[in-house]
Structure 1
Amino acid sequence: MCLISQEVVEDLILDRTQLISGCVVLSTDFADIAEDRLIRSALESLAKNEKLAQIGEVVFAKVRLNRITGDVMLDSDGGFDCVAKEALTRLGITWESSSAENAYRRGEKHVPARCVVRVLKGDPPSLSFKGHRLLYENWL
């Protein structure tokens, strides 16, 4: 049995995240690197050190520094909304835009203020980042 340190696992995870397209990474993306306990510990450490952001139980997102404030932000031009929707897709959850977003696209309403989706199939996870939270129209 080969022992691998958490620091090495963290480096391997960071290297692998560069190869993953999109912003969302799942803990299962690293299952071949080490045992589950070590992967989870490394991911939590990376999130604590702001190298990744934990947005769900097994869902993490790539981050970057905001050039103006220096704060950590999600590495997505679409912000939390896009990252949350990408996470649902990566988790295999079938979803569609909320009725408010659809009405906005038809020109009937103002821009929706919150990220809300309608889940069609699957068990929706709790996803959040710095005060933003994904809401589910079916469960409001």
Structure 2
Amino acid sequence: MSQPKTLKKRIENRVARTKKTDVFLPRDFADLSGEDQVLRALRSLVKDGSLMRLGYGVYARAMRSRISGRPIISSSNGFHSAALQALTKLGVAWEQSDSIKAYNEGRSTQIPVNPTVKVKTRFNRRLSDGRTELRVER
């Protein structure tokens, strides 16, 4: 007789099956259980290293680093890509910063190191992976 799957396992399976995005919000799992239970399961997945917490209510798919063994974001372009996905998922209107636009258009040879975006609407959160923080311009 098989045992029913725990909420943690059901969230883990949904994260593994989702291919379109690497960023998840608690509302993505609202149909599975109540908010407190979902947050508890997400916290447990962060502790296990299969998810990373980027900010308040924002989680990203993670994998273990081969070098350090610490969890890293498994997005195609790292933290920058995950932060942009998070902004889009949160409904924040954004555009690339002036320095990134200048580099992409060939007007500058300086490579922008820090991920920076211009937000067009109100946004008052911090998104970071522990080492890098998303810079927000108004």
TM over 0.5: yes
Whole-angstrom distance in 2 between the partners of 1:98 and 1:43: 32
Runs of 4+ in 1 over 3 A off after TM superposition: none
**Unaligned 5+ runs, structure 1:** none
Q: Which moved more, 1:12-21 or 1:96-105?
A: 12-21
> In the TM superposition, what are the counterparts of 1:1-140 in structure 2 within 5 Å?
8-20=6-18, 21-109=20-108, 110-138=110-138
Whole-angstrom distance in 1 between the partners of 2:6 and 2:124: 32
Across the aligned residues of Structure 1 and Structure 2, the Cα RMSD in angstroms comes to 1.7
Whole-angstrom distance in 2 between the partners of 1:59 and 1:41: 14
Using the TM superposition, give the Cα deviation of residue 130 of structure 1 relative to its aligned residue in structure 2, in angstroms: 2.2
TM-score (normalizing by structure 2): 0.89
Whole-angstrom distance in 2 between the partners of 1:124 and 1:89: 15
**Unaligned 5+ runs, structure 2:** none
Whole-angstrom distance in 2 between the partners of 1:104 and 1:52: 32
Q: Percent identity?
A: 32
Q: Which amino acid aligns with 1:131?
A: R
TM-score (normalizing by structure 1): 0.88
Using the TM superposition, give the Cα deviation of residue 124 of structure 1 relative to its aligned residue in structure 2, in angstroms: 4.2
